[in-house]
């Protein structure tokens, strides 16, 4: 009876998660794939067809935008890791007591507001009549208003800023569990700072690194607001192409095909990253 009660309690606890997973993730994606392999014909009927996928590969704008989005997402993930790692190490292993807590809260503060508000904040700073342009003119570095929006550098800045927390948190968690005596022992054995980093710190933090990179890459790849607001109409981000097919052209079949392609890319990149680093998904995300 006790074992049956424990099993029933487990099922009850898992039911909300399984319902959420099934109704909001699995079934919508199955339906989206089903829509993507159909095409409309005269009279409004639908027939099985791969024309939507063929359109992607035959139209240079689509696959070039797809490739550009993937490359910039990888670059944003790498930059986020390079910035977040020393910050996380300093918070986890150097700071103590209240200072550690304050710095961690400082990393959280920007994310207390929505991504839309944060993106508009960057627009206020970087637009032609913004604070940065005004400062450059005030100190004499520019003799006229400077437009800093609507370029790849600004998009990258926004993506890194938006994703930073999702890299910092798993890194701090893994680095905080690293025993300081291991670092001290590595130095006592004659290791340099680079040796300690390469042989002790990074291997221990690898699960946090992979987890952060997975989350940041997937969020960046599927980001819509930041590239559109900071990059303008010419941002050439693939999620904008999906939005255009669904909302502007009402072409749900083509939009669904684009969505499946984006999902396939993110899944392939995650699988490749796990294989490359020899990490398991359960260990990394657990």
Q: What is the pLDDT of residues 25-83, one digit of tens each?
A: 889 899 999 999 988 776 667 888 889 999 999 999 999 999 999 999 999 999 999 99
Question: Which residue matches tokens 């680093």?
Answer: 277
Is 200 in contact with 187 (CB distance < 8 Å)? no
Dist CA 130 CA 113 (whole Å): 21
pLDDT of residue 143: 83
pLDDT of residue 195: 86
pLDDT in tens, 76-107: 999 999 999 999 999 988 888 788 888 888 88
Percentage, residues of the chain above pLDDT 70 = 94
pLDDT attached to residue 80: 95
Q: What was the pLDDT predicted at 281?
A: 63
What are the backbone dihedrals phi and psi of residue 75, each rounded to the nearest 5 degrees, phi first? -65, -40
Q: What is the fold, at CATH topology level, of the domain defined by 51-277? A: MetI-like fold (1.10.3720)
d(CA 196, CA 185): 9
Under DSSP, is residue 156 helix (H, G, I), strand (E, B) or coil? helix
pLDDT of 185 higher than 80: yes
Q: Give the model's pLDDT for residue 260.
A: 94
- Among 21, 69, 97, 4, which Cα is nearest to 266's? 69
- How high does pLDDT run on average in the chain? 87
Q: Determine the average pLDDT of the residues in 191-218.
A: 89
CB 206 within 8 A of CB 120: no
Domain boundaries, the chain: 1-48, 51-277
Quickly state the pLDDT bin for 159 (edges 50, 70, 90).
very high
> Cα–Cα–Cα angle for 246, 252, 258, nearest 5°?
80
């Amino acid at each position: 009876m006790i074992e049956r009660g424990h099993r029933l309690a487990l099922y009850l606890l898992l039911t909300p998660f399984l319902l959420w997973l099934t109704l909001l993730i699995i079934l919508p994606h199955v339906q989206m794939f089903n829509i993507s392999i159909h095409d409309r014909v005269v009279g409004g009927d639908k027939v099985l067809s791969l024309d939507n996928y063929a359109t992607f590969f035959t139209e240079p704008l689509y696959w070039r935008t797809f490739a550009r989005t993937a490359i910039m997402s990888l670059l944003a993930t790498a930059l986020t890791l390079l910035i977040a790692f020393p910050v996380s190490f300093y918070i986890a292993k150097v700071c103590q007591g209240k200072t550690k807590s304050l710095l961690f809260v400082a990393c959280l503060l920007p994310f207390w507001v929505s991504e839309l508000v944060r993106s508009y904040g960057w627009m206020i700073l970087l637009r032609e009549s913004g604070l940065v342009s005004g400062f450059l003119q005030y100190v004499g570095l520019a003799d006229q208003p400077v437009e800093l929006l609507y370029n790849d550098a600004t998009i990258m800045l926004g993506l890194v800023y938006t994703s930073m927390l999702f890299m910092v948190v798993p890194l701090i968690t893994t680095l905080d569990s690293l025993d300081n005596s291991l670092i001290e022992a590595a130095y006592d054995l004659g290791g340099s700072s680079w040796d300690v980093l390469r042989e002790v710190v990074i291997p221990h933090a690898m699960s946090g690194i992979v987890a952060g990179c997975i989350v940041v890459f997937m969020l960046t790849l599927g980001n819509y607001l930041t590239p559109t607001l900071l990059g303008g109409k010419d941002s050439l981000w693939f999620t904008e192409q999906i939005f255009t097919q669904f909302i502007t052209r009402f072409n749900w079949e083509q939009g669904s095909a684009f969505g499946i392609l984006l999902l396939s890319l993110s899944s392939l990149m995650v699988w490749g990253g796990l294989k490359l680093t020899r990490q398991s998904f359960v260990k990394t995300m657990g």
